[in-house]
Amino acid sequence: MQDPTFARLHADCAALGTRLFTVTIQDEAHDVAWRAYTSHPVEYPVSGTKPLTRDGWYDHCITGQQTFVANSTPEFARYFPDHALISSLGLGSCINIPVVHLGRVLGTVNLLAEDRHFTPARLAAYQAIVATQAAALVAAMSAAGPPEAPA
């Protein structure tokens, strides 16, 4: 059974205009990230893994523990190989908020919306929502197991 924390956070972010919401967990030991929750299970299923790529996004969000903000497709396209799919969904901006516990990034809360959605005021509101739910989010992320490997 999936922890209701992710669904509650998704609902709170959707109320501010988020159109695609995922939670991704970093697995540094295996050098992968995996999706623990998704609002779009067809396009972005909770299954499989993707390799961790040490690039500018990683340096900013994971190593630097700072929220990544891209308010247009060109700003995130170089980091997101799926940028064409994102654009096809009518999405043109994103933020990735790192969830930090004991000095380590457990993963990220990933929010996508239309082009130029993440104004300074909205960014602050989203960060406040995540901060308010941080303890529950850390617990849910820590308890979530990686996706099952195919048989």
Query: Treating both helix axes as pointing N-terminal to C-terminal, what angle do 120-132 and 4-14 enclose, rounded to 10 degrees?
Result: 160
Q: What is the pTM of this model?
A: 0.94
Q: Domains plus CATH for the chain?
A: 4-143 (3.30.450.40)
| Per-residue confidence band for 151, with pLDDT thresholds at 50, 70 and 90 | very low
What tens digit of pLDDT does each residue of 19-62 get? Answer: 999 999 999 888 999 999 999 999 999 977 888 999 999 999 99
Two tokens at 150?
Answer: 């195919």
Q: CB neighbours (10 Å) of residue 45?
A: 11
Average pLDDT across the chain, whole number: 93
Two tokens at 88?
Answer: 């096809």
List Cα–Cα distances, 52 to 8, 30, 34, 49, in angstroms: 27, 9, 10, 9
Q: CB neighbours (10 Å) of residue 110?
A: 22
List Cα–Cα distances, 82 to 24, 57, 76, 137, 150, in angstroms: 15, 14, 10, 26, 23
Two tokens at 67?
Answer: 């929220």
List Cα–Cα distances, 5 to 20, 36, 138, in angstroms: 16, 11, 10
| Per-residue confidence band for 150, with pLDDT thresholds at 50, 70 and 90 | very low
What tens digit of pLDDT does each residue of 92-130 get? Answer: 999 999 999 999 999 999 999 999 999 999 999 999 999
